[in-house]
């Protein structure tokens, strides 16, 4: 497993396995990859599939990764035992490129959501609402989410574990992917600019959750 240079060392993994003339890739989103799914006609010599993998290092260590697959359905099913050895959930989303659509959508929601949570708690802090009380209350409301829970340490204890900052890469991939299919991405574009601004203001982010430091610390 190696990290591809063409994603500026921000991709979490690239697995290249060749067996029975089939080629499979496990990769993270790359801003320069085309997003539009394609049936890839005329590829009888080697069948290509891609599996995009949300979940990062934590999910890999826990064995809970979801593999978002694009490519020939029959070929993917034939390789399911191998794929299930890597991830807990193996999902075929459609033709080659569909896995990237799913990965980009996942990263977009997480990236924009992180900023929304930061703004919400910054507003509460300015209004004098105890952040711990608000956090535990929101855990019982419709605003509860995996994203909110993952930010507990940042919100309540100022904890920002060091890690690779993926926010700019992920949202750049989302904006470029939307452009490639003629879909306007105004919210995602603004979120990307905010990440770039915060990264510059803090002198370089050392993990995506450190965005909360911009909102909550003087």
Q: How far is C-alpha 64 from the chain's CA centre?
A: 15
Q: Which of 103, 125, 169, 201 is catalytic?
A: 103
φ, ψ (nearest 5 deg) of residue 88: -80, -25
φ, ψ (nearest 5 deg) of residue 179: -60, -35
Q: CA-CA-CA-CA torsion for 190, 194, 195, 198, nearest 10 degrees?
A: 180
Residue 22: CB atoms within 10 A of its CB come to: 17
d(CA 21, CA 43): 11
DSSP string, 34-89: --S-B--TT--SSEEEEEE-TTHHHHHHHT--EEEEEE-HHHHHHTHHHHHTT-SE
d(CA 30, CA 12): 11
Active site annotation includes 103: yes
Percent of residues in the chain assigned helix, strand, coil, to nearest 5: 50, 15, 35
Q: Which of 122, 99, 94, 95 is nearest to 28 (CA)?
A: 99
3-state secondary structure of 203: coil
Active-site residue list: 103
């Amino acid at each position: 497993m190696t990290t591809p240079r063409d994603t500026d060392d921000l991709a979490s993994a690239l697995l290249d396995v060749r067996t029975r003339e089939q080629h499979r890739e496990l990769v993270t989103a790359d801003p320069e990859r085309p997003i539009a799914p394609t049936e890839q006609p005329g590829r009888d010599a080697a069948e290509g599939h891609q599996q995009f993998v949300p979940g990062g290092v934590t999910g890999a260590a826990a064995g809970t990764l979801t593999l978002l697959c694009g490519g020939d359905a029959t070929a993917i099913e034939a390789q399911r035992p191998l794929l299930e050895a890597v991830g807990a959930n193996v999902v075929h989303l459609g033709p080659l490129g569909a896995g990237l659509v799913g990965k980009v959508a996942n990263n977009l929601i997480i990236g924009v959501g992180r900023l929304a949570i930061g703004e919400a708690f910054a507003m509460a802090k300015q209004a004098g609402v105890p952040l711990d009380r608000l956090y535990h209350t929101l855990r019982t409301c419709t605003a509860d989410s995996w994203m909110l829970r993952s930010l507990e340490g940042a919100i309540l204890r100022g904890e920002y574990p060091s890690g690779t900052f993926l926010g700019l890469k992920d949202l750049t991939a989302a904006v470029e992917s939307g452009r490639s299919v003629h879909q306007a991405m105004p919210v995602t574009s603004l979120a990307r600019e905010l990440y770039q601004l915060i990264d510059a203001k803090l002198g370089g982010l050392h993990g995506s959750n450190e965005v909360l430091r911009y909102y909550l610390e003087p």
